Amino acid sequence: MPPLLRFRKLSPFYEDTVNPKAKQSATVEKPKRRRFRRCSCVDSCCWLIGYLCTAWWLLLFLYHSVPVPAMLQAPESPGTRLSRDGVKALHPVILVPGIVTGGLELWEGRPCAEGLFRKRLWGASFTEILRRPLCWLEHLSLDSETGLDPPGIRVRAVPGLVAADYFAPCYFAWAVLIENLAKIGYEGKNLHMASYDWRLSFHNTEVRDQSLSRLKSKIELMYATNGYNKVVVVPHSMGAIYFLHFLKWVETPLHDGGGGGGPGWCAKHIKAVVNIGPAFLGVPKAVSNLLSAEGKDIAYARSLAPGLLDSELLKLQTLEHLMRMSHSWDSIVSLLPKGGEAIWGDLDSYAEEGHNCIYSKRKSSQLSLSNLQRQNYSIKPESRVKEPAKYGRIISFGKRAAELPSSQLSMLNIEELSRVDCTSNVSTSCGEFWSEYNEMSRESIVKVAENTAYTATTVLDLLRFIAPKMMRRAEAHFSHGIADDLDDPKYGHYKYWSNPLETKLPDAPEMEMYCLYGVGIPTERSYIYKLATTSGKCKSSIPFRIDGSVDGDDICVKGGTRFADGDESVPVISAGFMCAKGWRGKTRFNPSGMETFVREYKHKPPGSLLESRGTESGAHVDIMGNVGLIEDVLRIAAGASGQEIGGDRIYSDVMRMSERISIKL
Amino acid sequence: MPLIHRKKPTEKPSSPPSEEVVVPDEDSQKKPHESSKSHHKKSNGGGKWSCIDSCCWFIGCVCVTWWFLLFLYNAMPASFPQYVTERITGPLPDPPGVKLKKEGLKAKHPVVFIPGIVTGGLELWEGKQCADGLFRKRLWGGTFGEVYKRPLCWVEHMSLDNVTGLDPAGIRVRAVSGLVAADYFAPGYFVWAVLIANLAHIGYEEKNMYMAAYDWRLSFQNTEVRDQTLSRMKSNIELMVSTNGGKKAVIVPHSMGVLYFLHFMKWVEAPAPMGGGGGPDWCAKYIKAVMNIGGPFLGVPKAVAGLFSAEAKDVAVARAIAPGFLDTDIFRLQTLQHVMRMTRTWDSTMSMLPKGGDTIWGGLDWSPEKGHTCCGKKQKSNETCGEAGENGVSKTKPVNYGRIISFGKEVAEAAPSEINNIDFRGAVKGQSIPNHTCRDVWTEYHDMGIAGIKAIAEYKVYTADEAIDLLHYVAPKMMARGSAHFSYGIADDLDDPKYQQPKYWSNPLETKLPNAPEMEIYSLYGVGIPTERAYVYKLNQSPDSCIPFQIFTSAHEEDEDSCLKAGVYNVDGDETVPVLSAGFMCAKAWRGKTRFNPSGIKTYIREYNHSPPANLLEGRGTQSGAHVDIMGNFALIEDIMRVAAGGNGSDIGHDQVHSGIFEWSERIDLKL
């Protein structure tokens, strides 16, 4: 506020000296003064703006010129510390970004997107959404039949490190990790971002952009130009299953649609795969996203201001548009829960049983309760005093359905329902909007929702029933089951390659698999749905909604969503199970017995606003700024093995959960 | 806009006398700010605006106007500027991309761009304390904001090590990768962007277009040693060819990129430890055509002046306009000296020194361009030029282009017999240091002493061969480093095993083209712009200056048409590269089966006559022939696109020549 001060100082002086003159002028130059007076409203506005601007600039100037005080200075970054300890760049590092974080840019578009050539449509500032929302939606959607480019539109992944260093200005994704890697000597020649178009199915990234071939060639090149040191791959989120797909693809012969690297390619080129927040077994979030284009945030917003999002004022239909767009992206289907009931639990049992919401304050009471429950469960599961959260029911319609014992649920055979053609029912005002819901009869919608609950297996049937076209398209590329016999020749098909439960890891006994993820944040695990109220003249396009009004007695249920431990996006079971059990030792999924390590990072919210997103965060994206994780990645890249960085590091009960899951290994 | 706002209120019906108006006005002023209220009370409704107030008012007005204009600009439909332009200049021609798309051309061969010197962006990966917060920010290219904010820090980071020509300790500056490396040099100043946009129209995208960015400060072989840039380029070309159904790549180098790619072609076929180990038919297998844009195959005379005194035409002109300004030591800026110190650490500048010596560039009394008349820029039609030549009474004296550096105008024009040469090569370098302040700035001049400087000035005239010797004498350390990486001669026997060394690979006169008879080499360049070819120098005795030599800017010819302007003799070219350098290899030395081109690769020359943009709205023009602006030349873009879409040299019309390149090439007596 320096200008204010200055102003006050000036005023007495002003009074003494200027006043007489002013009085004089007031008497002499009346007409002129009157004119001045009248425009004073506009003038004073200008004056105020000028005032504010000056003050702003002054502050900005001060901010830039004043050196940062010591207490505000960031603590020493892990890169600097390790660099001083003599840790040096050794293995080339490949970063594989996940869904959403990678930037997309326009290469060819419709007339409405003029002037956006090679500008980012996704990532960076997103200004185009506000300026031309419909145009933006049109360009980011894929073809609903093929899952590839619509005619006349080419949107491509941004290449290079800029693709995903910052998702939006100041919202880092990989930037902190990159900076720390650079401190120990990494640069363009030994650090590569394998960006890909994350909207496509994994196989299609190769068909359209040859992304997998490029990645292969890049790894081979970096291996050769860095003194034949194997590469360390660091995938994040969906990138973990993308790279799983790559591992299988690269060793498959060319004539089977693979990369032709031959067996032993991975053993030769890859030292370790350091998965950050991997969604190996999918995320329940993907179900709610596909079913009603919403997650807990939207459900929460709706419960705060009911009617706002649903109203058709201004014909916005935001959610409907988002849903149409995301239904055209195959990649979301890759994130549906995999392994079905064996992993995610059936109507009555589930792996997280006994999970207490550790983030709740009622820690002690919950703990004893859950212990009690576990004992009860082993004896007589039907007679529990209080039903715990039934995580296994990923979607339940109504709170009752979520809690009833399975015997009382109406068993619905979805295949029997007919998709009655009911175009006559659809009023024209809603018809312009594409959604497969329009083709469903109201009766079948009601029937689907009647007092039922869906597990990870049946929820796929539900999706197949609701959006048959999308699922038909996407299921040609992804599979969500568990293999009985991995040697079955059908598993040579690419659709199985990204499912860790239907592929073997490559034959590379010296390779290491890491699962690095955050814990300690409530993570969406299952949902309670309701039927959307039909509004006035036309049927709402999305008939199902998360029931935001359901708040459980315990902290695990809030706003129609049940939470389990995880990193806010990926539940522990999805991120940790494969490394904790599925691949541990020599199993059928890991025939060569490569070593696996689970490294968990306990979430600790930033202490103050100054820390912004924190250096000890465990959240899905913010974990990339976690100093513990960065240090681990740096040490691995500099040549340390899993044992040297400390083996497993576990805070959650992932081991116990994994124990409870019984699949053939 | 505020003006209009201000006028409106006055149109209201006149209000009662001022004393009463004061009250409501004061109320309205209460809202904006408390202090304004107190101010008005004190001033008793009389004087209203102090100085600060009016300043604030003014700033406010400017801000509001600015925001309003910004709003209008953003709300304006994107096609508006084009509409305005079309109303003024008539309908624009379709850009080549749109035109060729209508013709049905489709992306076929993968395209590789190789940027030249200066145009590629460089970013910081590791720096000293002073460069805090610049991690992965561009030091070169982009806005150059850091040059102003911390100039010395910037110079320190952009310089390389004096001795090794690699990174100084603790500093890592690397080339930006990807198409962004050189699409725009500075905001709004395109380099490759127009070409990229047009190629995208016929279906090119990231997967079949690749910018082979490299650190252009390094010598070519060092880019491989430090960054493995050549290996990456090889791997990328192989990848693109295999993912595009085996279609060979079209390479489009620009400026120094041309030499870099010559080096690459030798490197890639050379055996492994020194080369890329691609085998003797790598080029034949992967390359369809090399389309060199403005290629300084034989170097540029500009490089001599740049290394000798850190100046070129532009600096010399600036000095002529404001003499003393650049040379003074006020503020201890020493701009030129710092620039000189920086550029001398860059090995790559030495790759552009004139090659081929007197054989190519001419001796004391002859030059291949002899008889070239410089038409003033104002005369557009060639006829006026031609007439002057026919009459034989050409007012201009013949120019001795062969004398690349001459001390004094008289010497530049004198007959060879009149010049007294005192050999400088043996001259002892004096001990005395003329100026101590120059010690801060590293140049090798202060090692030379007055005696050395005198000796140089007394030698009077330097031809291309002697200019190299001169640089060896003036800057022995730099040239010792440079001659380990580059060579400027002509090979007598190309089969001599010594030519397998990397230092010869970027000199077209000391290497053979690869054995790839189906490959095509194009030389595309602009003509019709006066281009630096030879310089008139003077000794600079000013005590403030650390560089003892300067271009003699007052060397003028009264005649408008003279080739001599501000101490620089100009010749036809694209403003940077003379026609001779850009065209000679394709016009003669590689034409047909020669010893430089044993497999008889077809060569084509495509010249583009410069025509400056008609008005400001056209920006840098679509028919420019200038060294960088030519990348926006529609005719050139169309040629490249046709070749990329599968055409060959005869499809696009063989040679297209405007200059006297064939005539000049004839005069050069080179064993082929």
Query: Is pLDDT of A232 > 90?
Result: yes
Kindly state the average pLDDT of the residues B414-432: 61
Closest residue to A35, CB basis, from B10, B42, B183: B10
Q: Are strands A120-122 and A104-108 parallel, antiparallel or unpaired?
A: antiparallel
Higher pLDDT, A363 or A547: A547
* pLDDT at res. A242: 93
Q: DSSP letter string over A483-533?
A: -S-TT-GGGGSGGGTT-TTSSPPPS-TT-EEEEEEEESEEEEEEEEEEEPP
Residues of B in contact with A47 (CB under 8 A): 32, 36, 53, 56-57, 60
Closest residue to B231, CB basis, from A40, A43, A221: A221
Among A563-567, B96-100, B376-380, B470-474, the minimum mean pLDDT is found in B376-380
Instruction: Tell me the C-alpha distance between B213 and B223, whole Å.
Output: 10
Contact A521, A359 (CB under 8 A): yes
Residues of B in contact with A182 (CB under 8 A): 125-126, 135-136
- pLDDT category of residue B263 using cuts at 50, 70 and 90: very high
* pLDDT at res. B22: 40
Query: Is pLDDT of A20 > 50?
Result: no
Q: What pTM was estimated for this model as a whole?
A: 0.82
Measure in Å the smallest separation between the Cα of B611 and chain A Cα atoms.
27
Question: Is residue A403 helix, strand or coil?
Answer: helix
* pLDDT at res. A215: 93
Cβ <8 Å between A160 and B174: no
Q: CA of B134: which chain A residue's CA is closest?
A: A179
Query: Is pLDDT of A1 > 50?
Result: no
A586 interfaces chain B, CB cutoff of 8 Å: no
Burial class (CB in 10 A: 0-12, 13-18, 19+), A492: middle
* pLDDT at res. A563: 84
- Please say if B14 is a catalytic residue: no
Query: Is pLDDT of B58 > 90?
Result: no
Instruction: Tell me the C-alpha distance between B672 and B668, whole Å.
Output: 11
B29 interfaces chain A, CB cutoff of 8 Å: yes
* pLDDT at res. A378: 39
3-class SS shares of chain B: helix, strand, coil, % to 5: 45, 10, 45
B30 interfaces chain A, CB cutoff of 8 Å: no
pLDDT tens-digit readout, A507-565: 999 999 999 999 988 888 888 888 766 544 444 566 777 777 776 656 677 777 888 88
Burial class (CB in 10 A: 0-12, 13-18, 19+), B615: exposed
C-beta contacts of A639-648 below 8 A and 24+ residues apart: A639/A90, A639/A91, A641/A512, A642/A272, A642/A512, A642/A514, A642/A595, A642/A597, A645/A599, A646/A599, A647/A597, A648/A597, A648/A598, A648/A599
Kindly state the average pLDDT of the residues A454-478: 84
Closest residue to A4, CB basis, from B35, B125, B207: B35
Query: Is pLDDT of B378 > 90?
Result: no
Q: What's phi and psi for A384, nearest 5 deg?
A: -70, 145
* pLDDT at res. B563: 73
Cβ <8 Å between B9 and A39: yes
CA-CA-CA-CA torsion sign (B215, B219, B220, B226)? negative
A56 interfaces chain B, CB cutoff of 8 Å: no
Average pLDDT, chain B: 77
Q: CA of B177: which chain A residue's CA is closest?
A: A160
Measure in Å the smallest separation between the Cα of B432 and chain A Cα atoms.
44
* pLDDT at res. A541: 61
* pLDDT at res. B4: 42
B200 interfaces chain A, CB cutoff of 8 Å: yes
Cβ <8 Å between B22 and A188: no
Q: CA of B50: which chain A residue's CA is closest?
A: A14
B145 interfaces chain A, CB cutoff of 8 Å: no
CA dihedral of residues A607, A608, A611, A612 (deg, nearest 10): 110
Query: Is pLDDT of B631 > 70?
Result: yes
* pLDDT at res. B524: 92
Residue count of chain A, please give it: 665
Mutate which of A118, A215, A219 to test chain B, going by most B C-beta atoms within 10 A? A118
Among the listed residues A444, A620, A622, A652, the single catalytic one is A620
Among the listed residues B254, B263, B485, B627, the single catalytic one is B627
B83 interfaces chain A, CB cutoff of 8 Å: no
Q: What is the DSSP secondary structure assignment for residue A147, as one 8-state letter?
A: S
Closest residue to B58, CB basis, from A50, A220, A221: A50
A64 interfaces chain B, CB cutoff of 8 Å: no
Cβ <8 Å between B28 and A44: yes
Q: CA of B213: which chain A residue's CA is closest?
A: A188
Cβ <8 Å between B206 and A165: no
Residues of B in contact with A11 (CB under 8 A): 35, 38-39, 42
Listed ranges A70-79, A611-620, A633-642; the one with the highest mean pLDDT: A633-642
Question: Is residue B251 helix, strand or coil?
Answer: strand
Q: What's phi and psi for A229, nearest 5 deg?
A: -95, 135
% pLDDT > 70, chain B: 74
A19 interfaces chain B, CB cutoff of 8 Å: yes
Residues of A in contact with B197 (CB under 8 A): 117-118
Residues of B in contact with A165 (CB under 8 A): 136
Among the listed residues A141, A201, A237, A540, the single catalytic one is A237
Higher pLDDT, A172 or B4: A172
* pLDDT at res. A323: 78
Cβ <8 Å between B63 and A50: yes
% pLDDT > 90, chain A: 15
Q: CA of A49: which chain B residue's CA is closest?
A: B60
Cβ <8 Å between B18 and A50: no
Among the listed residues A197, A330, A565, A567, the single catalytic one is A567
* pLDDT at res. B430: 54
Cβ <8 Å between B239 and A179: no
Higher pLDDT, A572 or B375: A572
Residues of A in contact with B236 (CB under 8 A): 217
Closest residue to A210, CB basis, from B126, B178, B243: B243
Contact A334, A201 (CB under 8 A): yes
A·B CB contacts under 8 A: 192
The pair of three-digit structure tokens given for residue A80, joined into one six-digit string: 């600097």
B126 interfaces chain A, CB cutoff of 8 Å: yes
Cβ <8 Å between B235 and A54: no
Kindly state the average pLDDT of the residues A173-177: 89
Q: Which amino acid is at B464?
A: A
A36 interfaces chain B, CB cutoff of 8 Å: yes
pLDDT tens-digit readout, B290-306: 999 988 898 888 888 87
Nearest to A646 by CA among A511, A508, A514: A514
Q: CA of B57: which chain A residue's CA is closest?
A: A47
* pLDDT at res. A316: 55
Among A216-220, A231-235, A347-351, B332-336, the minimum mean pLDDT is found in B332-336
Kindly state the average pLDDT of the residues B563-574: 81
Cβ <8 Å between A14 and B39: yes
Q: What is the DSSP secondary structure assignment for residue A313, as one 8-state letter?
A: G
Cβ <8 Å between A46 and B78: no
pLDDT tens-digit readout, B129-155: 888 788 888 888 777 777 777 778 888
Closest residue to A46, CB basis, from B43, B46, B57: B57
Element (H, E) at B80: helix B80-89
* pLDDT at res. B50: 75
Kindly state the average pLDDT of the residues A72-90: 81
* pLDDT at res. A351: 66
- H helices within B352-506, ranges in order? 357-361, 382-391, 409-413, 449-459, 464-474, 476-483
Question: Is residue A270 helix, strand or coil?
Answer: strand
Query: Is pLDDT of B625 > 90?
Result: no
Instruction: Tell me the C-alpha distance between B478 and B219, whole Å.
Output: 12
* Strand partners for B536: B406
In this structure, how many other beta carbons lie within 10 angstroms of the beta carbon of residue A407?
Answer: 9
Q: CA of B42: which chain A residue's CA is closest?
A: A15
The pair of three-digit structure tokens given for residue B326, joined into one six-digit string: 């650049």
Nearest to B549 by CA among B431, B437, B647, B459: B459
- Please say if B255 is a catalytic residue: yes
pLDDT tens-digit readout, B159-173: 888 888 888 888 999
Cβ <8 Å between A46 and B18: no
pLDDT tens-digit readout, A630-653: 999 999 999 888 888 888 888 888
pLDDT tens-digit readout, A31-50: 444 455 555 777 777 778 88
Kindly state the average pLDDT of the residues A424-437: 46
Measure in Å the smallest separation between the Cα of A46 and chain B Cα atoms.
4
- Please say if B574 is a catalytic residue: yes
Measure in Å the smallest separation between the Cα of A476 and chain B Cα atoms.
24
- pLDDT category of residue B12 using cuts at 50, 70 and 90: very low
The pair of three-digit structure tokens given for residue B573, joined into one six-digit string: 């070219």
> Is the ipTM, as predicted for this complex, more than 0.85?
no
In this structure, how many other beta carbons lie within 10 angstroms of the beta carbon of residue B646?
Answer: 15
Cβ <8 Å between A188 and B175: yes
% pLDDT > 90, chain B: 11
Contact A114, A665 (CB under 8 A): no
Among A3-12, A147-156, B495-504, the minimum mean pLDDT is found in A3-12
- pLDDT category of residue B187 using cuts at 50, 70 and 90: confident
A254 interfaces chain B, CB cutoff of 8 Å: no
Q: Are strands A512-519 and A595-602 parallel, antiparallel or unpaired?
A: parallel
The pair of three-digit structure tokens given for residue B535, joined into one six-digit string: 């310089």
The Cβ-side half-sphere exposure at B367, using a 13 Å CA radius, reads 21
